[in-house]
Chains A and B, each alone.
Chain A
Amino acid sequence: MNGPPTGESDADVVRQSLEQPELFALLYDRYAPDIHRYAARRLGDGSADDLTAETFLIAFRSRTRYDLARANARPWLYGIAANLIGKQRRCEVRSLRALARTGTDPVAEPWVERADSRVVAEAAQGPLAGALAGLSAGDRHVLLLVAWADLSYTEVAEALGIPLGTVRSRLNRARRKVRSALGADPTFVHDATEAVSHG
Chain B
Amino acid sequence: MDEMTTVRTFRAQAPTPDRADLVGGRDRLLAATAAGGAPPRIRLVRRAVVSGAVAAVAAAAFTVVQVTGDTSGGAGAQLGNAAAVLENAADTIEDAPRGEPRPDQWVYSKTVYGKTLPRYAKMQPSEGWLRYDGSKSAHRRPGESKLTVGDTDKDADERTPQEWYALLDSLPHDPDALLRTLREKSIIHPRGKTQAERDFAEIRVLLGHSAAMPVDVHAALYRALARIPGVSVTDHLVKDALGRAAVAVTFTAPEAGAMGGRMRYELLLDPTTYEQLGTRWVAAESFSSEKTDNREVKKGDALSNTADISKIVDKPGQTS
Interface set of A (CB-CB < 8 Å, partner B): 6-8, 12, 15, 17-25, 28-29, 32-33, 36-37, 40-41, 48-49, 52-54, 56-58, 60-65, 68, 105, 107-108, 111-112, 114-115, 118-120, 124-125, 128-129, 132, 143-144, 146-148, 175, 178-179, 182, 184, 189, 194
Contact = CB atoms under 8 A, between A and B. Distances in A.
Contact of A128 (B7, B16, B29, B291): B7
B155 to A, nearest CB: 7
A33 B189 CA distance: 29
18 contacts: A6-B290, A7-B290, A17-B33, A21-B34, A23-B304, A32-B26, A36-B17, A37-B14, A37-B15, A57-B156, A58-B156, A68-B189, A107-B11, A108-B11, A118-B13, A132-B10, A175-B3, A175-B4
B253 to A, nearest CB: 13
A178 B6 contact: yes
B39 interface: yes
B37 A61 contact: yes
Interface string B28-43: 1110111011110000
B158 A64 contact: yes
A20 B304 contact: yes
Contact of B306 (A20, A105, A179, A194): A20
B22 interface: yes
Contact of A56 (B6, B17, B29): B29
A40 B3 contact: no
B59 interface: no
Given A33-B16, A60-B33, A105-B11, A147 B4 contact: yes
Contacts of A56: 25, 29
B13 A148 contact: no
Nearest to A147: B7
A34 to B, nearest CB: 9
In the complex, the 3 A-B pairs of residues with the closest C-beta atoms, listed nearest first: A53-B25, A61-B158, A115-B13
Contact of A37 (B6, B17, B156, B290): B17
Contact of A68 (B32, B111, B120, B191): B191
